[in-house]
Structure 1
Amino acid sequence: MSDEVAPLIVNKGELARMLRVSAPTIDTMISDGCPVAAGGSNGVPYEFDFYRVRTWREERDARRAEEEQTRQQRINAAQAEMFGGQQLAPQGIGDIRETLEAERLAIIVSKQKSELIARDDVRNDYAAMFGVVRQHVLGWATSLGRLAGLTPDQQKEADRLARSMLVAMHGQIKDPALRPPLTDDAL
């Protein structure tokens, strides 16, 4: 790439900023063979051709990735040899994390779709909730009769309205199989 583009000469600090790394990382790169345009000894500051360094770094990273892939293949071959063709683990911890994250997300989506809640659990929850609401609503009619001094006929009407409201609420549960039993005793 440096053949196609005029060199861009930078110092060590500028190179670190351009590559978004620290100055000690640049020192490590130099010891790993990073091309230096000039300087670097006896008080003479380093100078780098940014494009040559970038190309060197890309090639180095590609080489390291290839070496790691070869290393993983050798590990897998050794495992297969030791354990009769079975691998003990996926390609690496990253694969395990990806698999676990995918499973976690699938569970979250399933919960959001209510696919993981057992029908009996929903039915029991509705029955418990309806029981509490029924208790309160019927209690309101009785309390209203006592506090407001309703006549027996007015008390019966308040009770009828409360029970009518409970029947209407019961009907709002879309799936009849999920509705709690509704008997005269329950109302």
Structure 2
Amino acid sequence: MHRVGSILVALAVAACGSAPGVTTSVVATTSVDPGSTTSTAAPLVECPPLEYQVTELPTRVTGEASDLGDIELDEFTAIGGTRSVFWVTSDGTLAIALIRGTLPPADWPGERGQVDVAGTDAVVGPFDDGKWVAAWFEGDGSDRCDHYTMVFYPPVESFEVESTLRGITTTET
């Protein structure tokens, strides 16, 4: 028993000693042979032309944009593979964008309603920064080119959004 007590005292002294602690860090390194990994993606094919005609536009809209280089792209319009039509005001400011090939990149931050767009139910409501956004899809929506988003840039009133959406007709024969 005396021997066990001596061992315990020796361990306690060693544990409380003033010797500096040692920390060991293990650094893991990895390397990848550039020739051993590959990734390929099918090229993104642009959607076909839009199958809708917009017959009613707000009075501030003067026509379709002819020089697309002046249009600043945003989270709605800068999506690869989409097909878009832009309407502008007299000073060239983007007023409306109709995009085929995508739905909005985020859900509506507030309330939204439903409106008929050429026989298809669309969801519509105010979005960030005074924009209004409508979205719908054709068929079962499994093909991304069946997705449509229409963005109304401020200033815009809800009655302008509704009358524009109700004035959309299909160009299919």
Q: TM-score, normalised by structure 2?
A: 0.16
Structure with greater strand percent: 2
Q: More helix by proportion, 1 or 2?
A: 1
Is the radius of gyration larger for structure 1 or structure 2? Answer: 1
Q: Which has the higher contact order (CA 8 A, sep 6+)?
A: 2
